[in-house]
Amino acid sequence: MAGSFYDQIAANRRNSFLLALSVVGLLAVLGFAIGYALTGDASGAIGAVVLAIVVGTLASLGSYFAGDRLVLTVSGAKEVDPTSAPQLMNVVQELAIAAAIPMPKVYLINDTAPNAFATGRDPQHASIAVTSGLLEKLDREELQGVIGHELSHVRNFDIRFSLIVGVLVGSIALISDFFLRWTFWTGGGRRSRDSDRGGNALQLVAFAIAIFLAILAPIAARLVQLAVSRQREYLADASSVDLTRNPEGLERALAKIATDQEVLEVANRATQHLYFTNPIRKFEERSSNLWSTHPPILDRINRLRQLQGEGPVDSAETQALAGLD
């Protein structure tokens, strides 16, 4: 089993970095096309790309340093201690030791829907929040699986990694929006004047490509960002097994939480990516399958069963779990 989950960890990390590199490549191609279209000079792309990244980074810094407090406040999370939540604190402490990270702050959300999330910019500034429903409906082994998953997000620096990808995606959106607005208000500006004089054929081609990319690149980048989020969930599952040495506990937790019909009222589309499983149910109006931040529950469970040398879930279980996020 050890080799198997280490293989999964390596594969998920590799997939995450390849996806992130694809966003970098998309940003470079978009910046080059727009820079050349506007200036007729390849060096013009550099300034546009650098400016967009700087603006995107500045816009993300507030979220990076204060986002955890905002999420905890919006979620109605209250900090607990060994007296008020002894089992929860004990599980978090033992798994934090196993993960070789500092003990995070632990919060409780008074909601009967079972779920949890981790937040914070690094292991030294991390917090874990769980719902009261999670404590009531899961046994200790299942709770260990969930906490191991969330601590793995902390240990793997997933929030920092997601922030970097978010800055790149935001930069693509900024460049695209600027170029499309400039094109709309100026009618192409210099491109039109060059066209009247016979123009630069290569620049005209670059302009057409830039418009095409400016429309599609933000959508493609967002889809890649979601794919990165899903890969980090797979990575956290495998890392949780590394910590607990018990894939069955995590598997049972996934099945219980996925089939629970309680709605987590405090969750929204801005925070749903943080949770252990997607807190927005498919039957809710706010649900959107296209922009899913989590891989399918059935896929996550089957990967865990593979770690135990077992086959995929049988047809009856598949019917119960099919289509769940």
**117: three-class secondary structure by DSSP:** strand
pLDDT digits (tens, 9 = 90+) for 201-239: 777 777 888 899 999 999 998 898 888 899 999 999 999
Whether 315 shows a pLDDT value over 80: the answer reads: no
Q: Which residues make beta-bridge pairs with 126?
A: 120
How high is the pLDDT of residue 320? 57
Q: Do 1 and 309 touch, CB atoms closer than 8 A? A: yes
How high is the pLDDT of residue 267? 86
Decide: residue 187, CB within 10 A, 0-12 exposed, 13-18 middle, 19+ buried: exposed
Task: Look at residues 39, 53, 51, 46 and name the one whose alpha carbon lies nearest to residue 207.
Answer: 39
Location of structure tokens 């991390």: 126
Whether 195 shows a pLDDT value over 60: the answer reads: no
Task: Look at residues 194, 257, 172 and name the one whose alpha carbon lies nearest to residue 38.
Answer: 194
Distance from CA of residue 267 to its chain's centroid? 15
pLDDT digits (tens, 9 = 90+) for 14-57: 888 888 888 888 888 888 888 778 777 666 667 767 776 776 67
Q: Do 34 and 212 touch, CB atoms closer than 8 A? A: no
How high is the pLDDT of residue 196? 46
Catalytic residue among 150, 248, 284, 310: 150
CA distance 73 to 69: 6
How high is the pLDDT of residue 7? 79
How many CB atoms are closer than 10 A to CB 181? Answer: 11
pLDDT digits (tens, 9 = 90+) for 110-143: 999 999 999 988 899 999 999 999 999 999 999 9
Q: Do 18 and 26 touch, CB atoms closer than 8 A? A: no
Higher pLDDT, 200 or 153: 153
pLDDT digits (tens, 9 = 90+) for 231-253: 999 999 999 999 999 999 999 99
102: left (phi over 0), alpha (psi -120 to 50) or beta: beta
Average pLDDT score over residue span 282-301 = 73
Question: Whole-number mean pLDDT of the chain?
Answer: 83
Integer CA distances (angstroms), 24 to 12, 213, 218, 230, in order = 19, 14, 12, 19
Helix (H) or strand (E) holding 216: helix 201-244
Q: Do 244 and 144 touch, CB atoms closer than 8 A? A: yes
CA distance 284 to 37: 44
CA distance 48 to 195: 23
Q: Does residue 136 have an active-site annotation?
A: no
For the chain, which residues make up each domain, given as ranges?
2-321
Q: How confident is the model at residue 170 (pLDDT cuts 50, 70, 90)?
A: confident
